[in-house]
Amino acid sequence: MKIFEQKQEGINEKTSNIKLYENCNQLMLDRFIQIIVEGDLRLLIIEGDPSNEILKETWEYIYAEYTSLINDDNSTEIYKAIRDINMWKMKFQRIEMFVSLLSQRPYPLLIIELKKMNYNYAFNHNDIQSYKADLNAVYNTAKTLLIQISNREKDLERLQKQDRQNDKKEKPVDQFDIMLISLSEHAGYQVQPHKLTVSQFAKMMNRVKEYAKKLEDNINAQGKEAKKWQRN
């Protein structure tokens, strides 16, 4: 038990010194564009020295959040896939940790948590053989989450491939230049990416899209009325 606690303390001490931009409300648009264009995920770091895996997971979450904010169907599916993968990973890691701790000592609170997750075994620590069998059953059942994760990761890979193919039609920097020009024209002033969070940018783009859609609908409606007048 002490060995486990020492390892856990070491991990917590290492990760507690890390501070990152973690969502679209925190990250400024200029930095976001720079990451997309240059691929330098270290631009997410505020302080500390996170692993590449942590940076990758953080960036995937931010980008998925952005794409869901701008109301793109394929991107929303990417966001959902990343959300599912992360949720299932955290759940499996939590169960794995509970089983590891319970194999050393029967912690009543951890048993209650497992029962809340519908692992309704007896967990009778007075019967060692039965107790170990229950813990093994929990762990083996939890491993089905790994299959779910693997299948969802395949979904994510397919969606991201489709997204990349769409992006190849135009360079990312050109896409953002066009969007910023559109925003500036709509707002009546020069929109500056270093003064906007990614979340604010997405909301402004949605307003421009809504305005453009209303204009298109009005034009189409006027066209239909004109055709009716001509026939009459």
Digits of tens for pLDDT over the chain (232 positions)?
A: 333 333 444 444 445 588 999 999 999 999 999 998 888 999 999 999 999 989 988 998 898 888 888 866 666 787 788 888 888 998 999 999 999 999 999 999 999 999 999 999 999 999 999 999 999 999 999 999 999 999 999 998 888 788 767 655 555 667 788 888 878 887 788 888 999 999 999 888 888 777 766 766 666 666 555 555 555 5
pLDDT at residue 177 in the model: 80
Query: How many structural domains comprise the chain?
Result: 1
CA dist 178 and 201 (Å) reads: 13
- 220 assigned to some structural domain: no
pLDDT at residue 216 in the model: 63
Give the dihedral sign, CA 115/121/127/133. Answer: negative
- 131 assigned to some structural domain: yes
Q: Quick check: pTM over 0.85? A: no
Instruction: Please provide residue 28's backbone torsions phi and psi, each rounded to the nearest 5 degrees.
Output: -80, 150
- 154 assigned to some structural domain: yes
pLDDT at residue 208 in the model: 77
Which string of b and e fits 139-167 if b means at least 16 CB within 10 Å? beebeebeeebeebeeebeebbeebeeee
- 78 assigned to some structural domain: yes
pLDDT at residue 178 in the model: 80
Contacts with 88 (C-beta within 8 Å, 6 or more apart), sequence order: 145, 148, 149, 152
Beta bridge partners of 47: 19
- 20 assigned to some structural domain: yes
- 224 assigned to some structural domain: no
Say how many Å lie between the first and final Cα of the chain, rounded. 89
pLDDT at residue 3 in the model: 31
| Residue 48 structural domain | 2-170
- 41 assigned to some structural domain: yes
CA dist 170 and 179 (Å) reads: 12
- 54 assigned to some structural domain: yes
